[in-house]
Amino acid sequence: MARRSLKYNAAVLSVTGFLVKFIGFFYRIFIANSIGTEGLGLYQLIVPIYSLLVLVLSAGISVAVSRFVAEETSSGRIRSGMKIASLAAGIVLIVGIVVSLILILNVDSMLLAFAKDLRARASLLWMLCLVPPIAAASAYKGYFYGKQQVIPNAIGQVAEQLSKLAFVVIMHPHFLNKGIESMCLLATLGLMVGETVNVFFVFCAFQYERFKNHTNQEPEAGTRTLTRRLVKTAIPISANRLVLSILGTVESLVIPQRLVLFGLTFQESLKVLGRLNGMAAPLVFFPSMLPMALATALVPAIAGAVSTGRYQVANRQISQSIRLTLTMGLVFTSFFAVCSHEIAEFIFPGKDVGRILHLLSYTGVFLYLQQTMLGILNGLSRESAILINTLTGSITRIVLVWFCLPLWGVDAYIVGVIAGSLITIILNFLEVSKITGMSMDIGEWLLKPLSATLAGALISMLLKRIPGLWGVGGKLQLLISMGISFAIIATSFVVAGVIKGEDIRRWTSRKNVILH
């Protein structure tokens, strides 16, 4: 497979992200309408625990492998990159088995301490059993990202979503009318089937790469040296993900308890959690496929450029990525804010998700930009700065949620997310500026996009207030209203000069503009 450019990889990952999230929407809609808000809330109590384990075990290794493979490949040492990936996978697998066994032996105590609901016991046991191989596969994914070959990982992700959806649809009749615990288990098994298919595909692709290069006789670095490099890089990154995951888990567990102090019953608070994390959040995070693709592709691209002394290329990649993320983020933030009730009623009819989606929409641009900045700093090898900055923003967020949720309800969660993300973004940008000398372009990055955002949102809201404008009813009216609103918002960005013709040509042309 040929090595590809940043724009190609980001485009492939964005398209893959769209497909993954599009298929995932059908999965979430099916699950939400099948098990209800309480069942979805129960599922959301244990998924953060699973995510915490996988992220902590794999996040640092994946980024470290990606960076080191990019450096080794740039120097022509192909087999060293493979050895790094295999060594990393072995380390994660062993550690994952030990951690999972300890947690399985104490699963009841863990559930009582964190989730306070033993109905999720069977689901959590299944998750714990598959944590080691799923986490270990991240090393192989990092290998392909490091070689800037995103196709194997992209196919694996799409296969994961398709197999997960197929499993849940086929098995749903066998779990129907057997209670919340049974339906929660169905969602869990669907998650596990999808992850297993993804791991199997990526592992086979890696073995094929090894077979193709088995005759290469280049010298390899020693195992001890590679292990030290991996551990030195992976620990700060994993610590950063640990902070994020722990706080995410704490939020999911704390939100129902703090909402009880706001005046809700525990069952009502579980329904709020289901609407927030199980329905509204996936909608807001749907456009994150672009910043996530950029963050993934930026690590090897920036690392490769810096390792070969091409600092101007790295700066150009960083600047274009930030501007693109801000533009995309503001387009979708304004769209979700203006059309929150239409979107919620169209996808989750009768679930009362509109207000929560409207509130959560304002967090979108901050979360998208935070993701891109994370990829930039990882590419610049600033793991310690990421950890400190993330910890600062996350502590701010959890403190606001803890103290303000009993006073303001779910509104306090939105305030906490925005405040925490904004602090993290500012600190991260200051770090990037210190390293690269880059300064913020207030006009291009903020003033013009914000003006376009306000203009597009205002026009859309005024049009929606005209009675009988569309002349139709039902879901067709919702769909037309959403389509016209999005078109107006996007057009305002083009008219304001935020989205330019050269941007479209750059990302659709065959020429490798970004890297050279």
Whether the pLDDT of residue 98 is over 90: the answer is yes
Per-residue confidence band for 74, with pLDDT thresholds at 50, 70 and 90: low
Q: Which residues have CB under 8 Å from 160's CB, separation 6+?
A: 20, 194, 195, 197, 198
Whether the pLDDT of residue 29 is over 70: the answer is yes
Model pLDDT, residue 109: 83
Q: Which residues have CB under 8 Å from 317's CB, separation 6+?
A: 6, 298, 301, 302, 305, 514, 515
Percentage of the chain exceeding pLDDT 70: 86
pLDDT in tens, 429-459: 898 888 877 777 777 778 888 888 899 889 9
Per-residue confidence band for 214, with pLDDT thresholds at 50, 70 and 90: low
Nearest to 29 by CA among 180, 187, 156: 187
Q: Whole-model pTM above 0.85? A: no
- Asked if residue 193 is part of any domain, the answer here is yes
d(CA 500, CA 331): 14
Whether the pLDDT of residue 3 is over 70: the answer is no
Model pLDDT, residue 515: 38
Whether the pLDDT of residue 229 is over 60: the answer is yes
- Asked if residue 138 is part of any domain, the answer here is yes
DSSP strands (E only) in 413-486:
none
- Asked if residue 513 is part of any domain, the answer here is no
Question: Got the DSSP string for 346-410?
Answer: HHSTTS--HHHHHHHHTTHHHHHHHHHHHHHHHHTT-HHHHHHHHHHHHHHHHHHHHHHHHHHTT
* Max avg pLDDT among 16-20, 346-350, 474-478: 346-350
- Asked if residue 114 is part of any domain, the answer here is yes
- If one counts every other C-beta atom within 10 angstroms of the C-beta of residue 304, the result is 24
- Asked if residue 1 is part of any domain, the answer here is no
Mean pLDDT of the 70-75 span: 70
Model pLDDT, residue 150: 76
Mean pLDDT of the chain: 80
Whether the pLDDT of residue 5 is over 60: the answer is no
- CB of 67 closer than 8 Å to CB of 379: yes
pLDDT in tens, 352-378: 888 888 888 888 888 888 888 888 887
pLDDT in tens, 260-292: 888 888 788 878 877 887 788 888 887 877 777
Token pair recorded at residue 66 = 């990606």
Question: Got the DSSP string for 299-342?
Answer: HHHHHHHHHTT-HHHHHHHHHHHHHHHHHHHHHHHHHHHHSHHH
Per the structure, the count of domains in the chain is 1
Per-residue confidence band for 1, with pLDDT thresholds at 50, 70 and 90: very low
Whether the pLDDT of residue 327 is over 90: the answer is no
Residue 245 identity:
S
Model pLDDT, residue 215: 59
Model pLDDT, residue 478: 80
Model pLDDT, residue 218: 56
Mean pLDDT of the 338-351 span: 85
d(CA 366, CA 363): 6
- Asked if residue 32 is part of any domain, the answer here is yes
Whether the pLDDT of residue 252 is over 80: the answer is no
Model pLDDT, residue 510: 46
Question: Got the DSSP string for 165-199?
Answer: HHHHHHHHHHHTTS-HHHHHHHHHHHHHHHHHHHH
Whether the pLDDT of residue 513 is over 50: the answer is no
Mean pLDDT of the 65-77 span: 74
d(CA 331, CA 267): 36
d(CA 108, CA 151): 41
Model pLDDT, residue 197: 93
Range of the domain at 422: 6-508
Model pLDDT, residue 511: 46
- Asked if residue 515 is part of any domain, the answer here is no
Alpha-carbon dihedral 234, 370, 345, 177, rounded to 10 degrees:
20
Model pLDDT, residue 505: 60
Whether the pLDDT of residue 222 is over 70: the answer is no
Model pLDDT, residue 2: 45
Look at 78-92, 124-138, 208-222 and tell me which has the smallest mean pLDDT: 208-222
Residue 506 identity:
R
Token pair recorded at residue 315 = 């700066």
- Going 257 to 262 to 267 to 273, the CA torsion angle's sign is negative
- Asked if residue 516 is part of any domain, the answer here is no
More confident residue, 207 or 296: 207
